[in-house]
Chains A and B, each alone.
Chain A
Amino acid sequence: MSTLNLLVLVCMCYVALLFAVAFGADRAAARGRVGWLRAPLVYTLSLSIYCTAWTFYGAVGFAARSGLEFVTIYLGPTLVMIGWWWTLRRLVRVGRSQRITSIADLISSRYGKSNLLAVFVTVLAVIGTTPYIALQLQSVTLSFAAFAETDPEAINLSDMQSTALWVAMGLTVFTVLFGTRNLDANERHHGVVMAIALEAVVKLCALLAVGIFVVWGLAGGIGGTLDRIEASEISQFDVSGSRWVGLTLLSAAAVICLPRMFQVMVVENEDEEHLRTAAWAFPAYLMLMSLFVIPIAAVGLDLMPEGANPDLYVLTLPLMEGRDGLAILSFLGGFSSATSMVIVASIALSTMVSNHVVMPLWLRFSGNAAMMSGDVRKVAIMARRLSIAGVVFLGYLYFHLSGGGTALAAIGLIAFVGVAQFLPALMGGLFWRGATRTGALAGLSAGALVWLYCLFLPSFGPSDMLPQAVFDHGLGGIAWLRPYALFGAVGLDPVIHALMWSMLLNTGGFILGSLLSFPQPLERLQGAQFVNVFDHSGTPGGWTGNMAQSEDLLVMSQRIMGAREAQALFAGAAGRQGVAGYLPEPSPDFLQELERVLSGSVGAATAHAMISQIVGGAAVSVEDLMAVADETAQIMEYSTQLEAKSQELARTARQLRQANEKLTQLSVQKDSFLSQISHELRTPMTSIRAFSEILRDTGDLTPEEQEKYASIIHDETVRLTRLLDDLLDLSVLENGQVEINSQTGLLSDVLDRAERAAGVKDTALQVDRDRASEQITLTSDLDRLAQVFINLIANARKYCDGTPPVLTIRASLREAQVVIDFTDNGSGIPAEKQAVIFEKFSRIGQTTVDGAGLGLAICREIMERLGGSVSYLPGQTGAAFRVSLPRTGQSAAVGSEHEAAQARG
């Protein structure tokens, strides 16, 4: 088999292994076995996406051209990591407490959840990252081509463009599969992180193996290697001070600001304590990665023929010596570096693009944003998938158009300077309360402009956009505006020149803009939150939600988070407030929690906008206003506390009023029931008495007449008995004297039986069922359960006023609970009645339909006896009831508790 074929095979196997690892990690996470996925070492290894193919191949090339200077690219991150106590700790804490999804989200959150800023950061990040992705694709194709050259059998196999296209497509598939599993960016991508960690190990081992081979195999040990370095072109340490310091600072800034680094460092962080391990382990990783770079470069310069590409020494040195195995390992190392960068970068960028560009646009153009129909969740996931494909495709396009020339080699540093523009806004936002949105915008635009003009556009050489005349004489002939000599600063290295001016103007604009502008309340509040994150990691921007409609919020959240999660969240919040059902009081605490959860899905700015649309405007919470105000603090504290108290009082009063209303309603119901029951009892009694008197006193009755009167008496007695049975049933249930006969059967059978018994066949009501989902085996008192179903179906038959009336029955399994929803298309139950429908004797309105109003009360009692519940589900198409019960009766609950205890132990 030829080397090239072997390489393709090994590569395929390696990709299959990556898929398997990612899949396995995702599965383990889904089953809750996340112990080893959360190891600090995995976190540290995932940080290694800092080392892309630019490091793997490019570092040696860099060293071969300019000696030891390459090491600055790794010294900067080392400084940041060992200085974690300054910045990273704060960054990670803020990221976690604010549920940050990307660097754009962080900056937008800090400056009053401004979407304009988020869009700005996103665009800049895309411009900076696209060439970088192209660089990765180029490195894979180049290394592939290097193999093809040594292989005589390979005839024109390695068409560069098609290799790049295949790699791009494979990466897109992988990223879409494992990067968009879950919408909430705060639920980490375990599969991706695991695969990245594996790739980190592979690239380190590969580079070390090549290094050891070069030092001990080719150069004859450490002494020999040092001699070769002495004899090589790079024997002198002639680095200019400005470049040495400048590049170190630049790479330090980049490691914080690169979208992909932010993704693994902040967004995917599981535990702040992991930073403690990363603080020494990541510098150690970087040190090992750079350890053999100079020896490889020196030996490569010595041994390789003139004109060989130094960027590929890592690969071509083993190939030249005929070490195919080592060369393949080296190829895999480069492949790993390239793929892991593209995967994480495209996830990070797609989160930004979909949250800050696509979703806001979609919300705006689909009309009344928060309230329209349709599932936002599907749109968000689709937006993210398309963004991933778009980002990778852009990278490919850039590679295709630039023809994979040498222009790409310099792009690493250019991208670094681009993302470093986020630094003033980011650091200012974390450490300075006075930083404002205007300042951030001013600084970012100034920095971005200088970067584009002085570094990014000139990197393409003289072109239509930037002709040679501009290079020589400046824009419009003004010598001060020459791209490489801005403001007359001649003789500087272009990267350092652009870095210096862009950062100076950026920081200057940021500070000046902040000093001169006045922040919005929300900005000041978020500022206090961010800067004092260690003092009060609690409440961010507050809502006064007394006007909010909980039901509207539920409808909105269901579409963003999915019905199940939203209902669980609302029910949990309601439970904590001591309210039954699914609709909690829209207290500020609850609204904040909701906003944070939503921002995990759609980004802070969008979540804020959606809630404010329903709640009606943002307000500032009492304590936080306190933190912002300074001079009038005391007075304000007093008055705002009063305000808080009065709000609390108003809430309590409202709850009391509700309780009072309920009691009054109950009393009215009881009265009306008593008169109803008297009436119900009296009517049959009267006719029984009348007809029995006739039978007793009238002598000459025909047998037909006798039989007629007797059967009337009989029918009336039956009616009486049924009424009394119902009452008795209820009182037995209420007193807990009922016996439960456990049986095992299929849910669908129980529903069939209930449907028949409820007499649906002869009426207009259509029952829509999903039989596949009903194939659930239950162990419970099935007769009692059927009784509940009959009641609910009969209610729909009686009360549903849809045309035509349709009852939808849906069953599902949630952990150990069976949940059955009965939803009709009628007008539903008005909110003021929802609280009392499960009470005895309650009937909606004075309808003509017969029944004593005991049905739902009996249902509730039965379900409680069966260990489940029946509740009214608000926010659906019509009246909706949810029956839930444990799948296997009480014994299952005990069993699962036992399991849980074992898992803890």
Chain B
Amino acid sequence: MSTERGPVFLARRSYRHRRLADAARLLPIAAGVLMAVPLLWQGPDGDPGTAPVMIYIFVLWAVLVGLSALVSRHLRAREPETGDHDRGDV
């Protein structure tokens, strides 16, 4: 839509910021997939036990909290987004 385009290559800093934003986008998708993993498990008599699933879920949860803290720490909400992600479809 806009006729002027941004530069093709970015400075290292903005490059990092964009990859961080990518990570922030991917994190919930990966988390969603990992949360569904126990559905595939098989126990000795059909269903898996509650205890191992519970431990898996809570460890996953703690790891997600840690990753989210790591990503969010360096990501500024207010920084302008100049990628093509948020362009309108018109």
Contact = CB atoms under 8 A, between A and B. Distances in A.
Given A277-B72, A532-B86, A287 B38 contact: no
Contacts of A226: 51
A276 B50 contact: no
B90 A433 contact: yes
B28 A80 contact: yes
Given A229-B54, A237-B48, 5 more contacts: A238-B46, A238-B47, A276-B76, A287-B62, A433-B90
A237 B53 contact: yes
A98 B5 CA distance: 28
A713 interface: no
Contacts of B46: 236, 238
A75 B27 CA distance: 14
Contact of B50 (A237, A279, A532, A535): A237
Contact of B68 (A67, A81, A248, A273): A81
A184 to B, nearest CB: 23
Interface stretch (A82-90, A133-141, A744-752): A82-90
B90 A630 contact: yes
Given A83-B27, A283-B64, A272 B77 contact: yes
Given A237-B50, A287-B58, A85 B35 contact: no
A433 B43 CA distance: 48
Nearest to A239: B39
A79 B27 CA distance: 9
A241 interface: yes
A531 interface: yes
A315 B57 CA distance: 26
Contact of A433 (B25, B28, B47, B89): B89
A638 interface: no
B44 to A, nearest CB: 11
Given A82-B64, A284-B65, A236 B47 contact: yes
B56 to A, nearest CB: 10
The 8 A-B residue pairs with the shortest CB-CB distance in the complex, in nearest-first order: A83-B28, A280-B69, A85-B24, A280-B68, A272-B77, A82-B68, A276-B72, A279-B72
Contacts, number: 131
Given A68-B54, A85-B21, A230-B51, A241 B39 contact: yes
Contacts of A283: 61, 64-65, 68
Main secondary structure, interface of B, reads helix
Interface in A764-801: none
Contacts of A480: none
A237 B38 contact: yes
A234 B28 contact: no
A810 B41 CA distance: 79
A528 interface: yes
Contact of B49 (A237, A284, A628): A237
A275 interface: yes
A578 B53 CA distance: 68
B25 A273 contact: no
A630 B31 CA distance: 39
Contacts of B39: 239, 241, 244-245
A638 to B, nearest CB: 14
A759 B68 CA distance: 77
Contact of A230 (B49, B68, B76): B49
Contact of A528 (B68, B73, B88): B88
A434 interface: yes
Interface in A226-255: 226, 229-230, 234-239, 241, 244-245, 248
Given A235-B50, A273-B76, A75 B58 contact: no
B90 A68 contact: no
Contacts of B86: 531-532, 534-535
A393 to B, nearest CB: 39
A432 interface: yes
Contacts of B27: 82-83
A229 B51 CA distance: 7
Interface residues of B, number: 47
Main secondary structure of the interface of A (DSSP, over half): helix
A301 to B, nearest CB: 12
A330 interface: no
A904 B24 CA distance: 36
Interface string A80-112: 111111100100100000000000000000000
A81 B28 CA distance: 8
18 contacts: A78-B31, A81-B68, A83-B27, A83-B28, A229-B50, A235-B49, A236-B43, A237-B38, A237-B41, A237-B49, A237-B50, A237-B53, A245-B39, A279-B69, A291-B58, A532-B88, A534-B86, A628-B90
A535 B86 CA distance: 8
A22 interface: no
B31 A236 contact: no
Contact of B81 (A238, A433, A534): A534
B32 interface: yes
A219 interface: no
B78 interface: yes
Tier of interface size on chain A: 35 or more
Contact of A287 (B25, B32, B61, B88): B61
A250 B58 CA distance: 20
Contacts of A548: none
A89 B28 CA distance: 14
A89 B32 contact: no
A96 to B, nearest CB: 11
Contacts of B31: 78-79, 82
Interface in B9-56: 21, 24-25, 27-29, 31-32, 35-36, 38-39, 41, 43, 46-51, 53-54
Contacts of B67: 82
Contacts of A273: 76-78
Contacts of B35: 75, 79, 248
Contact of B32 (A79, A531, A630): A79
A630 B72 CA distance: 37
Given A280-B72, A294-B50, A275 B25 contact: no
Interface in A288-323: 291, 294
B80 interface: yes
A814 B75 CA distance: 42
Nearest to A434: B89
Nearest to A86: B25
Contacts of A622: none
B72 A234 contact: no
Contacts of B88: 433, 528, 531-532, 627
Nearest to B73: A276
Contacts of B81: 534
A551 B3 CA distance: 42
B53 to A, nearest CB: 5
Interface in A705-723: none
Contacts of A81: 68
A207 interface: no
Interface centre among A239, A432, A628 (most CB of B within 10 A): A239
Contacts of A89: 77
Nearest to B40: A241
A864 to B, nearest CB: 43
A47 B78 CA distance: 21
A535 to B, nearest CB: 7
Interface string A424-449: 00000000111000000000000000
A71 interface: yes
Contacts of B32: 79, 248
A630 B71 CA distance: 37
Contacts of A248: 32, 35
Nearest to A74: B61
Contacts of A627: 1, 88
A624 to B, nearest CB: 12
Contacts of A528: 88, 90
A287 B54 CA distance: 12
A280 B27 CA distance: 12
Contact of A245 (B36, B62, B73): B36
A786 B24 CA distance: 67
A78 B78 contact: no
